[in-house]
């Protein structure tokens, strides 16, 4: 049984079909890229499967259970993590606090316990802080842990968002254009991070425009054009597919 | 039966008032995405300006009305430069609190300057009664409705044909693109505010002979105008106008047949009812005037 | 060190009635009267800051909850002869339940509509309180509200009311602290600062907005009940929109989202006009202008100014970060 699957997923906006009957499968442990020219429906698809948009038709299944149209916060709780195309952090919180915010479902605290700062509360908090610090270290932001996220550079915020998405240890990670709008050094760092995740056995589905990144790290590539899936397969095969070439380089 | 018709006539008067005030609010929101909580106070100040021109200075009715509109347009422009321009770039929290603060300041200043006693401003037309088959109404009410329709028609023409009007429409649809294309965003915002304030004053000059002017009149008016804007579909001027008439008639009927004391709650009830059923407003569209 | 400061400070606060008697003997009653209002408003401002400052919902409905708690206690105590120990929780409960009922439709609205909707609700509540004369006595007011009595303890003197208010403030401050720190605090702040991202962090924005709204409303109701137990009389004029403006001034003047800031703001707001002996209308004009200036120029309020001043003191040679 696939870890994650969409069947006939469709989303329309005012007469335009942004996502057109897309069937997509991701097996556990895979590193899959979703590519396609601008406007092909990639981010819309992401938003449909993570609860930010309600699909008009089709089904989304995760770990065998139907999650079609489930609200965003519940999707996150079920174990699907994501980043956003326009990098999104909590600007007023420190990098550390950003990560701690993502650890919602794993902490049990009672109101009274919190009021009197009971030892158990402090222990849970300490454990969370430790995990957050180690994640920040692994993306190279350890030194900026206390800095407000709003003061970090764009690339640093991308890394922060990436680390935050990892904080609740999701079973599936959806990355929306992790290599966009950052310098080549950062791109290499991103690639290394994603490869590391893959080696740890994490399942990753990423949307990406940067062909070098896609070809370099993906196990499998899915191509969308005008909302429809037009090709699928290993990177070298997809790259030579005439339909894909046509979609990208025009008619 | 004539009773019902009179209630409907009153409803149309209220509707005209709410529509004129709501249009100003909708224009502001549509063009610069700002909700002006002090909008009702523009009506209130327009009413006092009209009273002063007509009752104190003794100017003829049309002149007094135009004087009020001019005074408020100037005040609106000044306020835009002084306050609005600064808060346009800020979050909606700041905008809301700033305009709410303005509302309180203006209301209390009015109490200090004019006192809490309502000002009555009867005119020839508010005293003259028109009798249509047993239904009696003041001629002023006819003037209110006719003038309101004329104003809306003028606004439609303005937005479709005048350079400034077309710029306003363009800005309401895509502000960033306008700046790129060379539309003077600051100027359009300024003009929109001036027009908005002038509209409120025009409403006051038309309606004050029928109702009285008092410092608190703005608060409820802002709420009802806002209800109309929401019910009509945020920022969509035509929708706001239609919703305003709906609210005016509903309020009049409720006051006549349900309970006079609670009539002011009607706008709120209509708003909540519509929002529960159709959150995007009756006429659905969100952006564009 | 810190603990000593806490103990000394708390002792000083408790000892205020005696301090006042010693320092300003002729004015002791007046000073205590002002301080009772200050502590009650402080607690009310904290309950409002929960909603506005921590979860970012710009609600203008708070006066309604304050009024609901006040009317519940006033009517239960005078008409049904309920003892204070039952009337107070009833006031809190009613305000909280109404907040829940009102919150459900309100939170379907975004931003401006939410503010307007809550404002409309506040006005509607005032209209009902003024016009349902049979029930609320309308402008004739509810009079003869009895002084609180819990068993053998009777709160009838000014110092007693002050300690009651101080106790309430302490409880509310403790609750405020507990709600705005650790996981719950982070969830609130996440919803406030980036609702989309909060959802991706498995935080349900609606749930947390409702939680803050209901708790804030319930506490406001409780303060309303305490207030009316002190004043002894309740008129519909107590729940006007002006109260929303007052609360906004207190919260923004002091420092939105900050315990210390809000308390400073409430103290400054309540004490200042008493010191200046301003007429009510001029007072509102000043508040309006003050709020306008603060929200544009110093949105962090006094707390922000204090923090900037103290950080500058710590890094005198810094050339900026």
In the prediction, which pLDDT does A122 show? Answer: 76
pLDDT: which is higher, A125 or B66: B66
Contact list, A81 vs chain C (CB under 8 Å): 200
Long-range contacts of C111-115 (CB under 8 A, 24+ apart): C111/B92, C111/C58, C112/B29, C112/B35, C112/B92, C112/B96, C112/B226, C113/B230, C113/B234, C113/B275, C114/C57, C114/C58, C114/C59, C115/B96, C115/C58, C115/C59, C115/C60
Interface test with A, best of C180, C200, C203, C320 (most A CBs within 10 A): C200
Euclidean distance between CA atoms C235 and C240, whole angstroms: 11
Mean pLDDT of B168-175: 80
Please tell me the distance from the alpha carbon of residue B172 to that of residue B223, in angstroms, as a whole number. Answer: 22
* Contact yes or no for B275 and C111 at CB 8 A: no
**A251 CA to chain C: closest CA distance, Å?**
38
Query: What pLDDT digit, counting tens, does each position of C91-148 carry?
Result: 999 999 999 999 998 888 877 778 888 888 888 888 888 888 888 888 888 888 989 9
Residue C220 pLDDT greater than 70, yes or no: yes
Sorted by sequence, the CB contacts under 8 Å of residue C17 that are 6+ apart come out as C28, C32, C158, C159, C162, C163
The mean pLDDT value for A183-199 works out to 90
Would you say B104 and C242 are in contact if contact means Cβ atoms under 8 Å apart? yes
Q: How far is CA A120 from CA A98, A104, A128, B52, in A?
A: 22, 16, 12, 71
- Kindly tell me if the per-residue pLDDT of A213 is higher than 60: yes
- Report the range of poorest mean pLDDT among A114-123, A178-187, B219-228, C20-29: A114-123
Q: What is the predicted pLDDT for the residue at A222? A: 93
Residue B82: closest CA among B69, B98, B67: B98
Residue B105: which of C58, C241, C285 has the nearest Cβ?
Answer: C285
Q: Residues near A68 by Cβ (< 8 Å), separated by ≥ 6? A: A55, A58, A59, A60
Q: Which two tokens stand for residue A214?
A: 């896609």
By C-alpha distance, which of B83, B186, B109, B218 is closest to C295? B83
| Average pLDDT over all residues of chain C | 88
| Among C59, C294, C291, residue whose Cα is nearest residue B102 | C291
Continuous segment of H or E residues that includes residue B189: helix B185-207
- β-strand pairing of A16-26 with A31-35: unpaired
ipTM for the complex shown = 0.88
Give residue B167's pLDDT band: very low, low, confident or very high (50, 70, 90): confident
Confidence band of B269 (pLDDT split at 50, 70, 90)? confident
Tell me which residue of A237, A240, A165, A241 sits closest to A205, measured CA to CA: A165
Q: Residues near A214 by Cβ (< 8 Å), separated by ≥ 6?
A: A33, A35, A208, A221, A235
pLDDT above 90 for A31:
yes
The tokens of A11 are what? 């989303």
Give the C-alpha distances (Å, rounded to integers) separating C116 from A79, A232, C65: 37, 51, 16
Q: Which residues in chain B are contacts of C300 at CB distance < 8 A?
A: none
Average pLDDT over residues B198-215: 93
Distance CA B241, CA B238 (A): 5
Interface mutation vs chain C, best among A52, A73, A77, A172, most C CBs within 10 Å: A73
Q: Cβ B112–C295 below 8 Å, yes or no?
A: no
Residues C68-94: what's their mean pLDDT? Answer: 94
Name the pLDDT band for B289 (thresholds 50, 70, 90): very low
B94 closest CB neighbour out of C113, C119, C299? C299
Residue B286 pLDDT exceeds 50: no
Place of tokens 């110093």: C298
d(CA A69, CA A73): 12
Please report where in the chains the tokens 């498995």 appear, as a residue: C202
Q: Which residues of A touch C183 (CB under 8 A)?
A: 100, 103-104, 107, 109
- Residue B64: which region, alpha, beta or left (left: phi > 0; alpha: psi -120 to 50)? alpha
Name B170's Cβ contacts closer than 8 Å, sequence gap at least 6. B177, B178, B181, B183
| C-beta of residue C269 within 8 angstroms of C-beta of residue C246 | yes
Q: Is the pLDDT of residue C253 over 80?
A: yes
Confidence of residue B223 (pLDDT cuts 50, 70, 90): confident
CA quadruple C156, C158, C160, C166: dihedral, nearest 10: 140
Q: How far apart are CA A160 and CA A174, in angstroms?
A: 15
Q: Is the pLDDT of residue B114 over 90?
A: yes
* Residue C127 tokens, joined: 């209209």
The residue ranking higher by pLDDT, B121 or C171, is: C171
Cα–Cα distance list, C291 to A88, A170, B215, C271 (Å):
31, 45, 20, 17
pLDDT of B285? 53
B235 contacts in C (CB within 8 Å)?
A: none
Average pLDDT value for chain B: 87
Predicted pLDDT of residue C192: 92
Interface test with B, best of C119, C250, C282 (most B CBs within 10 A): C119
Mean pLDDT in residue range B174-184: 73
Q: What is the pLDDT of residue C320?
A: 45
Whether the predicted pLDDT of A115 surpasses 60: no
Chain C touched by A96 (CB under 8 Å): no
User: Which chain C residue is nearest to residue A82, measuring alpha carbons?
Assistant: C200
Query: Does position C77 have pLDDT exceeding 90, yes or no?
Result: yes
Q: Which residues of B touch C124 (CB under 8 A)?
A: 265, 268
Cβ atoms within 10 Å of B127's Cβ, excluding its own:
11
Interface B-C, measured as beta-carbon pairs within 8 A, has a size of 111
Q: What would the DSSP string read from start to end of B162-176?
A: SHHHHHHHHHHH-HH
Both ends of chain A: CA-CA distance in Å?
38
Q: Does C296 contact B86 at a Cβ distance shorter than 8 Å?
A: yes
Asked if pLDDT for residue C272 goes beyond 80, the answer is: no
Give the separation between CA B211 and CA B21, rounded to whole angstroms: 15
B positions 28-47 inside 8 Å of C (CB): 29, 35
Q: Is the pLDDT of residue B19 over 90?
A: yes
In angstroms, the CA C219 to CA C196 distance is 29
The mean pLDDT of B199-212, rounded to a whole number, is 93
CB A223 within 8 A of CB A231: yes
User: Exposed, middle or buried by CB within 10 Å (0-12, 13-18, 19+), for B132?
Assistant: exposed
Report the alpha-carbon distance of residue B190 to residue B212 in Å, rounded: 30
- pLDDT value of residue C42: 96
Q: Is the pLDDT of residue A154 over 60?
A: yes
Which of C229 and C241 is assigned the larger pLDDT? C229
The pLDDT of residue A119 is 75
Alpha-carbon distance A185 to B71, whole Å? 61
Question: Residue B283: its pLDDT value, please?
Answer: 72
Instruction: Give the mean pLDDT of C48-53.
Output: 95
- The predicted structure's pLDDT at residue C321: 43
Distance from CA of A245 to the nearest CA of C (A): 35
Q: Name which of B109, B272, B279 is nearest C285 (Cβ-Cβ).
A: B109
Give the per-residue pLDDT at C319: 46
What residues of chain C, 131 to 160, have a C-beta less than 8 Å from chain B?
Answer: 131
Judge whether residue B287 has pLDDT over 70: no
What residues are paired with A26 via a beta bridge?
A4
With a CB cutoff of 8 Å and minimum separation 6, the contacts of B162 are: none
Q: Is the confidence at residue A117, as pLDDT, over 80? A: no
pLDDT band at C224 (very low <50, low <70, confident <90, very high): very high
CB pair distance less than 8 Å for A97 and C186: yes
Cβ partners under 8 Å of residue B238, min gap 6: B232, B283
Give the separation between CA B216 and CA B214, rounded to whole angstroms. Answer: 6
B272 touches chain C (CB under 8 A): yes
- CA C141/CA C129 separation, integer angstroms: 10
Rounded to 5 degrees, φ, ψ at C244 are -60, -45
CA dist C229 and C73 (Å) reads: 8
Contacts of C134 (CB under 8 A, 6+ apart): none
Average pLDDT of the residues of chain A: 88
Whole-number percent of chain C with pLDDT over 90: 45
SS3 C258: coil
Determine the Cα–Cα distance for residues B149 and B155; give it in Å rounded to an integer: 10
Cβ–Cβ under 8 Å, residues B101 and B195 = no
Q: Quick one: pLDDT at residue B288?
A: 37
Higher local confidence (pLDDT), A251 or A38: A38
Pairwise CA distance, residues B36 & B40, whole Å = 9
Structure tokens at C235: 């008129």
Give C139's DSSP letter: G
Which helix (DSSP H) or strand (DSSP E) does residue B57 occupy?
none
Helix ranges (DSSP H) in chain C: 2-23, 28-49, 62-78, 84-106, 111-131, 133-136, 158-179, 182-193, 195-200, 205-231, 241-254, 259-276, 280-297, 301-314
Mean pLDDT of the region C271-279:
71
What value does the mean pLDDT take over residues B20-36?
Answer: 89
| β A172-176/A16-26 pair status | unpaired
Q: Which two tokens stand for residue C157?
A: 């003197």
Q: What is the pTM of this model?
A: 0.86
Chains C and B touch, using 3 or more CB pairs below 8 Å: yes
Using the predicted structure, report yes or no on whether residue A240 has a pLDDT greater than 70. Answer: yes
More confident residue, B222 or B171: B222
Chains with 3+ CB–CB pairs under 8 A to A are C
Q: What is the 3-state secondary structure (H, E, C) of chain A?
A: CCCEEEEEEEEEECCEEEEEEEEEEECCCCEEEEECCCCCCHHHHHHHHCCCCCCCEEEEEECCEECCCCCHHHHHHHCEEECCCCCCCCCCCEHHHHHHHCCCCCCCCCHHHHHCCCHHHHHHHHHHHHHHHHHHHHCCCHHHCCCEHHHCCHHHHHHHHHHHHHCCCCCEEEEECCCCCCCHHHHHHHHHHHHHHHHCCCEEEEECCCHHHHHHHCCEEEEEECCEEEEEECHHHHHHCHHHHHHHHCC
- The reported pLDDT for the residue numbered C276 is 67
Token pair, residue C286, equals: 């000043």
CB contact C68 to A (< 8 Å): no
Give the pLDDT of residue A166.
93
Contact of A6 with chain C, judged by CB distance below 8 Å, is answered with: no
């Amino acid at each position: 049984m696939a870890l994650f699957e969409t069947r006939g997923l469709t989303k329309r906006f005012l007469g335009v079909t942004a996502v057109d009957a897309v069937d997509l499968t991701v097996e556990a442990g895979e590193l899959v890229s979703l590519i396609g020219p601008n406007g092909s429906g990639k981010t819309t698809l992401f938003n449909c499967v993570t609860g930010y948009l309600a699909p008009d038709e089709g089904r989304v299944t995760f770990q065998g259970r139907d999650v079609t149209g489930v609200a965003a916060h519940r999707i996150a709780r079920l174990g699907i993590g994501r980043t956003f195309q326009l990098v999104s952090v909590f600007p007023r919180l420190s990098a550390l606090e950003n990560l701690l915010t993502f650890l919602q479902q794993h902490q049990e605290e009672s109101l009274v316990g919190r009021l009197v700062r009971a030892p158990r509360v402090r222990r849970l908090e300490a454990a969370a802080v430790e995990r957050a610090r180690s994640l920040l270290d692994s993306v190279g932001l350890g030194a900026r842990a206390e800095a407000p996220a709003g003061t970090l550079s764009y690339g640093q915020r991308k890394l922060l968002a990436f680390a935050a998405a990892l904080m609740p240890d999701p079973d599936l990670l959806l990355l929306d254009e992790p290599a966009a709008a950052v310098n080549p050094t950062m791109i290499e760092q991103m690639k290394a991070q994603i490869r590391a995740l893959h080696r740890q056995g994490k399942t990753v589905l990423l949307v990406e425009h940067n062909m070098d990144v896609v070809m370099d790290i993906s196990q499998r590539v899915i191509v969308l054009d005008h909302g429809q899936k037009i090709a699928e397969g290993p990177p070298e095969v997809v790259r030579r597919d005439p339909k894909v070439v046509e979609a990208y380089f025009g008619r | 039966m004539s009773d019902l018709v009179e209630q409907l006539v009153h409803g149309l008067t209220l509707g005209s008032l709410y529509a004129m005030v709501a249009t100003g609010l909708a224009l502001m929101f549509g063009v610069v995405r700002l909700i002006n909580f002090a909008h009702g106070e523009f009506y209130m100040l327009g009413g006092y300006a009209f009273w002063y021109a007509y009752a104190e200075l003794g100017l003829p009715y049309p002149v007094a009305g135009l004087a009020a509109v001019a005074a408020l347009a100037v005040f609106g422009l000044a306020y835009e430069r002084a306050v609005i321009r600064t808060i346009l770039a800020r979050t909606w929290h700041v905008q809301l609190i700033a305009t709410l603060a303005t509302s309180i300041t203006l209301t209390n200043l009015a109490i200090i300057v004019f006192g809490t006693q309502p000002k009555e401003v009867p005119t020839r037309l508010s005293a003259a009664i028109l009798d249509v088959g047993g239904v009696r109404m003041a001629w002023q009410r006819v003037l209110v409705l006719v003038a309101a329709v004329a104003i809306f028609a003028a606004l439609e023409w303005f937005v479709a044909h005048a350079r400034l009007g077309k710029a306003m429409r363009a800005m309401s649809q895509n502000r960033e693109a306008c700046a790129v294309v060379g539309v003077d965003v600051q100027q359009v915002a300024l003009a929109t505010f001036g027009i908005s304030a002038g509209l409120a004053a025009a409403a006051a000059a038309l309606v004050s002979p029928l109702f009285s002017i008092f410092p608190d009149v703005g608060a409820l008016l802002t709420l009802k105008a806002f209800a109309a804007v929401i019910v009509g579909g945020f920022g969509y001027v035509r929708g706001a106008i239609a919703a305003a008439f709906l609210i005016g008639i509903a309020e009049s009927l409720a006051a006549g047949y349900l309970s006079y004391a609670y009539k002011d709650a009607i706008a709120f009830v209509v708003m909540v009812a519509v929002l529960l059923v159709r959150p995007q407003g009756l006429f659905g569209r969100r952006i564009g005037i | 060190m810190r603990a000593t400061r806490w103990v000394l400070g708390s002792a000083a606060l408790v000892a205020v009635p005696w301090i006042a008697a010693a320092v300003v003997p002729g004015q002791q009653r007046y000073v205590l009267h002002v301080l009772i209002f200050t502590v009650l408003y402080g607690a009310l401002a904290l309950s409002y800051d929960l909603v506005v400052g921590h979860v970012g919902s710009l609600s203008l409905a708070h006066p309604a909850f304050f009024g609901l708690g006040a009317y519940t206690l006033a009517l239960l105590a005078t008409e049904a002869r309920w003892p204070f120990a039952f009337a107070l929780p009833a006031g809190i409960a009613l305000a909280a339940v109404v907040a829940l009922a009102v919150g459900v439709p309100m939170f379907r609205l975004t931003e401006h509509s939410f503010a307007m909707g809550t404002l409309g609700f506040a006005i509607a509540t005032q209209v009902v309180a003024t016009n349902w004369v049979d029930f609320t006595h309308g402008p004739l007011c509810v009079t003869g509200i009895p002084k609180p009595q819990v068993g053998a303890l009777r709160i009838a003197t000014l110092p007693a009311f002050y300690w009651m208010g101080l106790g309430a403030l302490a409880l509310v401050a403790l609750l405020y602290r507990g709600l705005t720190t650790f996981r719950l605090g982070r969830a609130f702040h996440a919803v406030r600062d980036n609702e989309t991202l909060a959802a991706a962090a498995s935080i349900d924005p609606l749930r947390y907005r409702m939680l803050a709204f209901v708790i804030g409303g319930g506490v406001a109701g409780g303060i309303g009940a305490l207030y009316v137990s002190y004043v002894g009389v309740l008129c519909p004029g107590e729940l006007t929109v002006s109260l929303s403006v007052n609360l906004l001034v207190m919260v923004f003047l002091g420092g939105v989202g900050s315990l210390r800031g809000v308390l400073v703001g409430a103290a400054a707001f309540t004490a200042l006009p008493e010191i200046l002996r301003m007429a009510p209308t001029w007072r509102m004009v000043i508040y309006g202008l003050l709020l306008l200036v603060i929200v544009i120029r110093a949105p962090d309020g006094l707390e922000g100014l204090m923090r900037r001043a103290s950080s500058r003191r710590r890094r005198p040679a810094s050339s900026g970060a």
